[in-house]
Amino acid sequence: MENKEQLVFALLGNVNTRKRENNLMDIAENIQKLQQHIGSLDTVANMLHVSVGMLQKFLKVSKLTLAVQQLVKERKIDSVEIVYNLAKFSTTEQVIIAQSVINNTLNSQDLRDLCPLRKNFPNEPIEHLIERVIKSKDQKISVIRFYIQDLKKDQTLFEQELSHILHAELLALEYNQHIGTIKVSQKGEKMLRRLAKQNKQTLQNYTYSLLEA
């Protein structure tokens, strides 16, 4: 077993740079070994001059299916952000998404966009959601923001209603602390404006009417 000093030396050259000597599986294993020596991930983070959150992202490789872990070992997938977000999906979905990553169909930003889509559309096949993300890169996106405190109905119900109105033109619905964000295609914005006009409202007022219980 490597001693503490050897592990610290090995990790310092891997967790603070994108030009890593080792694959993410090996790095995560060394983080765990060092934690066993020290007993605290907080102390490990302090020794390596990184945040605990960053170390936890490396450790997410343990949540990947074996097939995807093999891709990480081979460095076909070598991004901490991609590993972190891949771990949020089911094992079956991980394999499908990983294939899109190594084929250069999806990048780390695409994967970040895919996560809220999966949450908002839990029953949609992952292939369809990937297609949405790819499609959204080639189109202009309209963003509508609202205060979450103004949402007077269950979030799931609100998501279902928006999906029913906009169908595939609803690209994402995100909640970040106090602000909600609706991302729609240009066609989706036109649909909302048309509905607002039919109800003799501005787009903003119509959007807020959807928030009401």
DSSP string for residues in 66-102: HHHHHHHHTTSS--HHHHHHHTTS-HHHHHHHHHHHH
Question: φ, ψ for residue 176 (rounded to 5)?
Answer: -135, 100
pLDDT tens by residue, 176-202: 878 989 988 888 899 999 999 999 998
Percent of the chain scoring above 70 in pLDDT: 98
Check residue 138 and give its pLDDT.
66
Check residue 66 and give its pLDDT.
97
Check residue 157 and give its pLDDT.
87
> When comparing pLDDT for 17 and 156, which is higher?
156
Check residue 212 and give its pLDDT.
85
The answer to whether residue 1 scores a pLDDT higher than 60 is no
Q: In angstroms, how far is CA 83 from the centroid of its own chain?
A: 10
CA distance 155 to 148: 10
Q: Which pLDDT band, with edges at 50, 70 and 90, does 25 fall under?
A: very high
- Going by C-alpha positions, the residue among 129, 88, 74, 140 that lies closest to residue 106 is 129
Question: φ, ψ for residue 200 (rounded to 5)?
Answer: 55, 45
Question: φ, ψ for residue 173 (rounded to 5)?
Answer: -135, 115
Q: Which pLDDT band, with edges at 50, 70 and 90, does 169 fall under?
A: confident
Q: Which pLDDT band, with edges at 50, 70 and 90, does 43 fall under?
A: very high
Check residue 213 and give its pLDDT.
62
Classified by CATH at the fold level, domain 139-213 comes out as: Alpha-Beta Plaits (3.30.70)
> When comparing pLDDT for 18 and 109, which is higher?
109
pLDDT tens by residue, 92-144: 999 999 999 999 999 998 999 899 888 888 899 999 999 988 887 766 788 88
Which spans in 103-169 are helix H?
Answer: 108-120, 126-137, 155-166
CA distance 41 to 28: 12
